[in-house]
Homo-oligomer: A and B are copies of this chain.
């Protein structure tokens, strides 16, 4: 096929006609799952393998056509949705779903980028191993997207972000070359660690097509508790004690507000066994005996110190799952109650109490009618500070005011969701000149034509 053949024709020749979607067939790919971001792609490509991805990317590069990579389309920042120009190509990885190899001894798994997280979790669990990425969208999020956004979730406290689990990557570069570093090695300091460039950069430097991920032992014992605390300072004191008492076994330390429990009760018909202005959902797991004993001791200490006012330690796996169901219903309940301006912020844990007080006072000033649904990963300093009942035209003002406060507290305006297209302007506003400069240098070095997921993460130069 000659180089000047129309692009669609070339792409069909590469992937086959059925793998190049146009018109109404593109609907599920053109909009994000929440219906918040809408794009109008030129076409949707569904290549069957890495070679096809590479040939598609090379063809688009030659045509000067931009590419938006897409995994499970479960992102919260519009990172996988194209613009409205009708010129961008969505490259979906959803046909590349092979689990190539599970190594339970070396504790690694090699998968294609389109594999669904839960599919991998289930497969490695059969081998007594855990892939410790746990988030609400795990039934539809795909490995490539998790890597491209450096996804977080409820297990980060113990196991780190997705970056910490990536041992090897295969990436198609903006010019169609393939970088193949699918190594099953826990230690590799030979040369620049090039794979880091493609983790958390949301497809702006290349497209992840396959990965080797690190697995961990599957804990045999589990302890789950829901604890009412009198205030945030008590919650943080309990967190510090938990690190002393159960240490590495602590895997989740989640915060839910009383307002959040009310939303769940009202809209989901679920009632929590404890209620207070703030409650904690704490989870620990271990292969060692003695976990429950240590957990009980920790709770005793919490009551003695006055850090807990009420609480329940799950007596069974089913009861533990029910407690987690509360946490996982928050987003849906919030949606049913009319939605919210979502924030994904982190601040240093010792400053969390002051931050929440100052942010609350600021909001009463900026948006007196607002209602809050604050929840998230207190043990990571990461909260979803969601503001409900605010008029659409006030959203930008509320965003900016909250982000300014986060910056004043040395925090991050995007802890685990990434910038995508949603937060890129706020990043651009708050980042320093050196960060802007370095970001553009890296982007220009790898994608000089700016064809990889334009408008995401990297601000467009003025």
Contact = CB atoms under 8 A, between A and B. Distances in A.
A335 interface: no
A410 to B, nearest CB: 6
A293 interface: yes
B128 A190 contact: no
Given A105-B350, A196-B196, A438 B179 contact: yes
A186 B380 contact: yes
Given A156-B187, A186-B382, A423-B190, A286 B164 contact: no
Nearest to A403: B190
A152 interface: yes
Interface stretch (A59-67, A309-317, A442-450): A442-450
A217 interface: yes
B434 A179 contact: yes
A106 B248 contact: no
Nearest to A250: B217
Contact of A105 (B216, B236, B418): B236
B189 A417 contact: yes
Contacts of A423: 190
B288 A434 contact: no
Contact of A200 (B192, B239, B431): B192
A103 interface: yes
Interface in A277-293: 286-291, 293
A341 interface: no
A225 to B, nearest CB: 16
Contacts of A457: 191-192
B289 A189 contact: no
A126 interface: no
Contact of A149 (B164, B189, B412): B189
A333 B457 CA distance: 53
Interface string A401-442: 000000000111111111100010001000110110111011
Interface in A124-153: 128, 149-150, 152
A99 to B, nearest CB: 17
Contact of A150 (B189, B197, B239): B189
Given A200-B192, A291-B288, A103 B348 contact: yes
A247 interface: yes
B192 A201 contact: yes
Contacts of A30: none
A161 B431 CA distance: 28
Interface in A371-421: 377, 380-382, 410-419
A189 B288 contact: no
Contact of A189 (B200, B240, B350, B434): B200
A187 B442 contact: no
B434 A240 contact: no
Contacts of A381: 106, 185-187
A173 interface: yes
Query: Top 5 closest A-B pairs, CB basis?
Result: A290-B290, A247-B287, A217-B247, A445-B445, A289-B290
Interface of A: 103-108, 128, 149-150, 152, 156-157, 160-161, 163-164, 173, 177-181, 183-194, 196-197, 199-201, 216-220, 236, 239-240, 243-249, 286-291, 293-294, 346-350, 377, 380-382, 410-419, 423, 427, 431-432, 434-435, 437-439, 441-442, 444-446, 457-458
